[in-house]
C-alpha cells in the first residue's frame, strides 16, 4: 500500500493509490466545512469553543482524561467537560489562564499546564513578555482540581527554556509525581536557555504539598552529538514514559532517544537514533502495548505547513515504526495518512494514542487539517489505515487548524480541533470493537499503561 513503505520512491500523484487507499467517503476534494468519514467511523458530536476560547488564535491543544471527564487545553487556558454521555458533553468549568501552548495532564487532584512562552509573571493574569526568556516567566503551572467546578491555581515552577510539553511519572508510593519537561532551545545570549541545551528538566511534585514543587534534575538525554541546524532545535519535544517497563521514548527534534527510567530522577540513555534522510522534526513517540515497537512521528514544517500533498514523499511528515528487541531499536517501515490534502491545508503527523485491543497494535492519530486517522501497525513492516474522519479546509487559501490531538478513551475517540473545539468520534469495526470493553480510570497519553493483562 502506498504510504506504508520504507522505500521513499517517487512522490504520489493525485488519483494514485496513496490518495485513494482507504477513502470510503465522497471522492474528490472536500468543500469548506464538509465532513468525510470512512464507512466504519461517524461523528457523534462537536462542541464548539465558548468565549473567550473562540478568538482567532485561541487554539485548542492537548487532552487528558480522568473518570467521566475530559480536560481540554487551549492557548487561553483549559476547559473541563463531563462525558458521562459521550454524545452530549457538558461543560463543568472553564479556566482562563493564557500561555502557549497549555499542554495539559492530570494526576489525582492535580492538573499541570506547560507554558512555553515568556510571560510577565507566573500568574493567570500575566501578559506576554516578548524578548529573551530571562525577561519573563515560563514553565509549569499547577492547579488543584479536587473541585472540578472551581479549579484552583496553587503553584508554579520555572524551567529552563520553558515547557513545551511534559510527561507525568507517578512514584510507586503515590506520594510524588515527577514531570519530565521538554522544551526547545537554546537561545543565544540567554542565561536561562543557554547553549547547548541538551537536557530536560525533571520537576518533583509532592502530592500532599504541591506548593513545594521544584526542579530536582536536569539530565543529559544524548549519548552522542545532537543534530542541530537552523531547522532543528536542541532539547526534546515530547517524551512518552512507560513506567511498567522502566522505559521512556524521547522525540528530541533531530533524534529519537530510548531511556531507562527505573530511577525516574536519573534516566539513562539506552540508544539514540536519527534519520536525516527522512525525519525533519522528531515530535513524539508511542510504545506498542507490549513495548516491542515504538512509533516516532515527524512534524515536518512544525505543524503549520501542507505536507500531505503529492509533492511530499510518504516517508516525510509521517510516522516511522521501529521494532524494539533486546533493548535495541530497528527501523521497519513508514506510515503516512493516505488522503491527498490541499496546498492550503496544514497537515502532518501529530498527537496519537493506542486503541486498546489485546494482541493488536492499532493507533488513532491527529493530522491537523488531514483529520483523524485510525491505522493498524500489528505487522510493523506493513502498516495500513482502517478508518478516518476529516473536515474540508477552514477557508480558501492558507489557514491553520484541524485536529491537534486524537485519543481513544473508554469507548470513543476524542479529538481536540484547533478551531472547531471538541469532537467525539465513534468507530464500529471488528478490529477495534474489543477496545470498547476496556475501561481506564484516567489517561495521560504520554504516560502509558499496559492494557494487555
Cell (9 digits) for 342? 490541499
Cell (9 digits) for 362? 492499532
Please answer whether residues 112 and 95 qualify as being in contact, where contact means their C-beta atoms are separated by less than 8 angstroms: no
Helix, strand or coil, per DSSP, at residue 127: coil
Rounded average pLDDT over 81-108: 98
CA–CA separation, 134 and 421 (whole Å): 34
Please answer whether residues 376 and 346 qualify as being in contact, where contact means their C-beta atoms are separated by less than 8 angstroms: no
The pLDDT of residue 195:
85
For residue 342, pLDDT over 80 is answered with yes
Q: Is the dihedral of CA 384, 390, 392, 398 positive or negative?
A: negative
Helix, strand or coil, per DSSP, at residue 402: coil
Q: Is the dihedral of CA 149, 405, 340, 343 positive or negative?
A: positive
Task: Give the angle subtended at the CA of 41 by the CAs of 35 and 44, to the nearest 5°.
Answer: 70
Domain residue ranges in the chain: 17-443
Cell (9 digits) for 329? 531499536
Cell (9 digits) for 178? 515527577
Mean pLDDT, the chain, integer: 90
The pLDDT of residue 33:
81
For residue 107, pLDDT over 70 is answered with yes
Task: Give the angle subtended at the CA of 65 by the CAs of 64 and 66, to the nearest 5°.
Answer: 140
Give tens-digit pLDDT for 35-60.
Answer: 999 999 999 999 999 999 999 999 99
For residue 232, pLDDT over 50 is answered with no
The pLDDT of residue 28:
66
Cell (9 digits) for 96? 482562563
Closest CA to 162 of 128, 208, 211, 212: 128
Q: What is the pTM of this model?
A: 0.92
Helix, strand or coil, per DSSP, at residue 85: coil
Give every CB contact of residue 324 below 8 A, 6+ residues apart in sequence: 258, 287, 291, 292, 293, 294, 330
Q: How far is CA 191 from CA 135, 159, 260, 287, 410, in A?
A: 10, 12, 30, 35, 45
The pLDDT of residue 9:
30
The pLDDT of residue 141:
98
Place of cell 470498547: 436
For residue 25, pLDDT over 50 is answered with no
User: In the chain, what are the helix, strand and coil shares in percent, each to the nearest 5?
Assistant: 5, 45, 50
Burial class of residue 250 in the structure, from the number of CB atoms within 10 Å of its CB (0-12 exposed, 13-18 middle, 19+ buried): buried
Reading phi first (left if > 0) and then psi (alpha if -120 to 50, else beta), residue 448 is in: beta
Q: Say if strands 77-82 and 90-96 run parallel, antiparallel, or are unpaired.
A: antiparallel
Place of cell 506498542: 288
Rounded average pLDDT over 275-294: 96
Instruction: With cut-offs at 50, 70 and 90, classify the pLDDT of residue 27.
Output: low
CA–CA separation, 334 and 382 (whole Å): 9
The count of other CB atoms within 10 Å of the CB of residue 387 is 25
Q: What is the DSSP string of 289-348?
A: TTSSEEEEEE-GGGGSSB-SSTTS-TTSSSEEEEEEETTEEEEEEEE---S---TTB-B-
Closest CA to 349 of 321, 372, 380, 324: 372
In 110-206, which residue ranges form alpha helices assigned H by DSSP? none
Q: How far is CA 375 from CA 6, 74, 241, 378, 431, in A?
A: 17, 27, 22, 9, 10
The pLDDT of residue 331:
98
For residue 125, pLDDT over 90 is answered with yes
Rounded average pLDDT over 406-425: 98
The count of other CB atoms within 10 Å of the CB of residue 149 is 8
Instruction: With cut-offs at 50, 70 and 90, classify the pLDDT of residue 226.
Output: low
For residue 15, pLDDT over 60 is answered with no
> What's the CATH fold of domain 17-443?
Methylamine Dehydrogenase; Chain H (2.130.10)
Please answer whether residues 213 and 192 qualify as being in contact, where contact means their C-beta atoms are separated by less than 8 angstroms: no
For residue 401, pLDDT over 50 is answered with yes
Amino acid at each position: 500500500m502506498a504510504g506504508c513503505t520504507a522505500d521513499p520512491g517517487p512522490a504520489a500523484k493525485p488519483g494514485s493509490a496513496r490518495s485513494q487507499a482507504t477513502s470510503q467517503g465522497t471522492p474528490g476534494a472536500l468543500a469548506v466545512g464538509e465532513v468525510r468519514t470512512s464507512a466504519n467511523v461517524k461523528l457523534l458530536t462537536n462542541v464548539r469553543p465558548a468565549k473567550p476560547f473562540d478568538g482567532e488564535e485561541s487554539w485548542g491543544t492537548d487532552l487528558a482524561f480522568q473518570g467521566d471527564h475530559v480536560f481540554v487545553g487551549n492557548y487561553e487556558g483549559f476547559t473541563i467537560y463531563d462525558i458521562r454521555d459521550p454524545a452530549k458533553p457538558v461543560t463543568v468549568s472553564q479556566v482562563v489562564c493564557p500561555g502557549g501552548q497549555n499542554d495539559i495532564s492530570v494526576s489525582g487532584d492535580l492538573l499541570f499546564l506547560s507554558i512555553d512562552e515568556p510571560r510577565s509573571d507566573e500568574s493567570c493574569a500575566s501578559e506576554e513578555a516578548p524578548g529573551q526568556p530571562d525577561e519573563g516567566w515560563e514553565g509549569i503551572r499547577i492547579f488543584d482540581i479536587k473541585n472540578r467546578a472551581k479549579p484552583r491555581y496553587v503553584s508554579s515552577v520555572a524551567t529552563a527554556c520553558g515547557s513545551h510539553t511534559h510527561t507525568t511519572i507517578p512514584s510507586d508510593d503515590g506520594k510524588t509525581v515527577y514531570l519530565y519537561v521538554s522544551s526547545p532551545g537554546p537561545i543565544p545570549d540567554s542565561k536561562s536557555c543557554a547553549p547547548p541545551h541538551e537536557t530536560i528538566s525533571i520537576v518533583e511534585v509532592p502530592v500532599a504539598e504541591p506548593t513545594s514543587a521544584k526542579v530536582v534534575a536536569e539530565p543529559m538525554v544524548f549519548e552522542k552529538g545532537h543534530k542541530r541546524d537552523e531547522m532543528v532545535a536542541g532539547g526534546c519535544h515530547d517524551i512518552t514514559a512507560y513506567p511498567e517497563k522502566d522505559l521512556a521514548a524521547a522525540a528530541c527534534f533531530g533524534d529519537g532517544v530510548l531511556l531507562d527510567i527505573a530511577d525516574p530522577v536519573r534516566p539513562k540513555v539506552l540508544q539514540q537514533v536519527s534519520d536525516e534522510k527522512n525525519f525533519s522534526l522528531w515530535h513524539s513517540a508511542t510504545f506498542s502495548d507490549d513495548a516491542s515497537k515504538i512509533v516516532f512521528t515527524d512534524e515536518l514544517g512544525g505543524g503549520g505547513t501542507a505536507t500531505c500533498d503529492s509533492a511530499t514523499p510518504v516517508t516525510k511528515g509521517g510516522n516511522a515504526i521501529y521494532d524494539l528487541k533486546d533493548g535495541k531499536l530497528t527501523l521497519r517501515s513508514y506510515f503516512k495518512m493516505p488522503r491527498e490534502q490541499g496546498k492550503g491545508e496544514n497537515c502532518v503527523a501529530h498527537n496519537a494514542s493506542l486503541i486498546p485491543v489485546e494482541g493488536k497494535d492499532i493507533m488513532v492519530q491527529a493530522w491537523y487539517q488531514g483529520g483523524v486517522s485510525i491505522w493498524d501497525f500489528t505487522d510493523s513492516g506493513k502498516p495500513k489505515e482502517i478508518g478516518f474522519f476529516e473536515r474540508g479546509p477552514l477557508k480558501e487559501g492558507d489557514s491553520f487548524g484541524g485536529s491537534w490531538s486524537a485519543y481513544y478513551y473508554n469507548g470513543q475517540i476524542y479529538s481536540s480541533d484547533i478551531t472547531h473545539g471538541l469532537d467525539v468520534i465513534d468507530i464500529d469495526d471488528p478490529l477495534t470493537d474489543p477496545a470498547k470493553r476496556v475501561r481506564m480510570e484516567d489517561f495521560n497519553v504520554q504516560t502509558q499503561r499496559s492494557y494487555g493483562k
